Amino acid sequence: MTIELRPLTAADAEAHCAGEDALTVRWLTGGYGDVDGTIEYFKWLATNAAAGTGKRGFGIWKPGRLCGYVDYDPDLDDGIEPQDVALSYAVHPWARGQGVAVEAVRLVCEVLLADGIGTRAAIRVEPENSASVRVAQKAGFRYIRDFSSNRDAHPDGTPVTFSLYLLDL
């Protein structure tokens, strides 16, 4: 599996948006992005990277083609301890089922370790999202517990239940 993590720029916004599908919306974003909003989001990520604070996001590239997105957020505290760093990811539909997400998680954990950010990586996943549960397991994370989110709710107002998986960095 040859993939690379690189910062995202305005030139990647269209491909990023084109890589979203119903599963991305259901399990991660809550809605489809548009190119202008995505460019603003990438600028915000670049500002964080320059300042060395907050959420950092990366594009996942297979040779010559953007195939996904991964980020870490040291400030997210819903269901995790202050030293835990939450990861999120999505892989474009055409690139799924090839181990891209597991490798991207491994690479982003290397970034956390190299930059001394946090002591544990955290994956918070809805238990019904079996593909993402598999990613956590295959990346070596251990199941800790299920918890009710203080931050995310279903359309009917009930809190989202997440399973927490952790990996020591």
Ligand X SMILES: CC(C)(COP(=O)(O)OP(=O)(O)OC[C@H]1O[C@@H](n2cnc3c(N)ncnc32)[C@H](O)[C@@H]1OP(=O)(O)O)[C@@H](O)C(=O)NCCC(=O)NCCS
Closer of 119 and 129 to ligand X (Cβ): 129
From the list 80, 90, 108, 164, which residue makes contact with ligand X (rule: CB under 6 A)? Answer: 90
125-130 contact pairs (CB < 8 A, 24+): 125/27, 125/162, 125/163, 125/165, 126/27, 126/160, 126/161, 126/162, 126/163, 127/161, 127/162, 127/163, 129/27
Q: Identify the residue among 3, 39, 80, 102 touching ligand X (CB under 6 A).
A: 102
Q: Given candidates 5, 86, 91, 166, which one binds ligand X under the rule CB under 6 A?
A: 91
Query: Least distance (Å) from ligand X to the CB of residue 126?
Result: 7
Residue 66 sits in the site that holds ligand X (CB under 6 A):
no
Q: Which residues contact 41 (CB under 8 A, 6 or more apart)?
A: 33, 57
47 or 109: CB nearest ligand X: 109
User: What CA–CA distance (Å, rounded) separates 81 from 129?
Assistant: 23
Q: How is 25-55 classified by DSSP, letter by letter?
A: IIIIISS---HHHHHHHHHHHHHHHHHT-S-
Nearer residue to ligand X within complex by CB, 60 or 112: 60
Q: Among 132, 163, 164, 167, which residue sits at the site for ligand X (rule: CB under 6 A)?
A: 132
Residue 97: burial class (beta carbons within 10 Å; 0-12, 13-18, 19+):
exposed
Residues 150-169 that bind ligand X (CB under 6 A): none
State which of positions 32-51 bind ligand X (CB under 6 A): none
Q: 11 or 131: whose CB is closer to ligand X?
A: 131
Interface with ligand X (CB under 6 A): 23-24, 27-28, 89-91, 96-102, 125, 129, 131-132, 134-135, 138
